Amino acid sequence: MKARKVTMPGLAQMKAAGDRITMLTAYDASFARLVDAAGVDCVLVGDSLGNVIRGLDSTLGVTVDDMVYHVEAVRRGLERALLIADLPFLAYHDRATALHSAGRLMRAGAEMVKLEGGAAMVPQVSALVEQGIPVCAHLGLTPQHVHQLGGYRVQGREEAAARRLREDAGALQAAGAGLLVLECVPAGLAASVAEALRIPVIGIGAGVEVDGQVLVLYDVLGISPPPRPRFVKDFMTGRDSIAAALSAYVEAVRQGDFPAAEHGY
pLDDT in tens, 94-118: 999 999 999 999 999 999 999 999 9
Q: pLDDT band for position 146 (50/70/90)?
A: confident
pLDDT of 265 reads 94
Whether the per-residue pLDDT at 15 is higher than 80: the answer is yes
72 is catalytic: no
Q: pLDDT band for position 1 (50/70/90)?
A: low
The DSSP letter of residue 110 is -
pLDDT tens digits, 209-254: 999 999 999 999 999 888 889 999 999 999 999 999 999 999 999 9
pLDDT of 17 reads 98
Please check whether the domain covering 8-263 is classified as CATH 3.40.50.300.
no
**Separation in Å, CA 204 to CA 77, 86, 181, 210:** 24, 15, 8, 10
For residue 46, give the nearest of 219, 233, 231, 162 by alpha carbon: 219
* Neighbouring residues of 225: CB distance < 8 A, sequence distance ≥ 6: none
What pTM does this model have?
0.96
Whether the per-residue pLDDT at 71 is higher than 80: the answer is yes
Among the listed residues 183, 195, 209, 251, the single catalytic one is 183
Whether the per-residue pLDDT at 93 is higher than 80: the answer is yes
Q: pLDDT band for position 2 (50/70/90)?
A: low
Residues 231/259, Cβ–Cβ less than 8 Å: yes
Amino acid at the residue 104:
R
